[in-house]
Amino acid sequence: MLRALAVLCLSALPALADPVPFREIVELEGVRFTIPMSVTLVAADETEVVLTFDGDLGQIQDNLPGLLSQVVSETCEERTAVAVTGGRAEGAELVLEGQLQFRRWACPGDDAASRIELLRQTADVTVRLRGEIRAGCLQMRVVSAKLRPDGLTGAFLNVTGWTERLTRELGASLNEALGEEENCIRIPPEFAVFDTRVTGGGFREIGEGRIGARLRARMVVDAEKFIRLVHLLGREGRLGD
């Protein structure tokens, strides 16, 4: 009887196949953003529902220069800092542009007051980020970074391997910041009561260089869970007339 009721309930899911809009709070580097999102529910078979969550990350994208510009490393002898100037979507990647400044001093006695500058270089840098599903949520990860030093100083950095080292350190520093547990895009917590399992996701371009997020999930729905889902969507005003 319950199985028959579940099948009957799931047969109503095509009515929810159109995206249901909502808003979700996402935190990145301690700053909270309200992200426009939608969820589409489609019956995969008699007892399983496929959910697709789409989000517009434009607000986060606009604030990345302030969020990710940082001092990468600093000692008495060296200082490396990156200034992110903007970002754009390219397919499934978010491409950041900016500048990296590297300075090196002679620092006798480890005394910053008496140090002498030996080298200074400001170089353009491009960093590519992708969205990866980790522990059921979507995180940004650096997949490549390219540093372009110029002039005689730039040639020296290239020949001596400093460019490669600085690029590696920049990627590691950004990944450390982005990999913090709170810097994660999750499906709405209301769906946790349905034992929803995230199966995939990532970034996607949503037009005019804007970046979006997509998470795919599946849940097994019996009659009781389906009724709870309908009540949840109705209570929050997410079901249309």
180-191: pLDDT as tens digits: 878 888 888 777
Query: Which comes out higher in pLDDT, residue 123 or 237?
Result: 123
pTM recorded for the entire structure:
0.82
CATH code at 67-178 = 3.10.450
Query: What is the model's pLDDT at position 107?
Result: 92
Query: Which comes out higher in pLDDT, residue 18 or 128?
Result: 128
Reply yes or no on whether the pLDDT at 13 is more than 80: no
Reply yes or no on whether the pLDDT at 15 is more than 80: no
Query: What is the model's pLDDT at position 46?
Result: 73
CA distance linking residue 134 with residue 18, whole number of Å: 28
Query: Which comes out higher in pLDDT, residue 18 or 85?
Result: 85
The domain locations on the chain are 1-22+31-50, 67-178
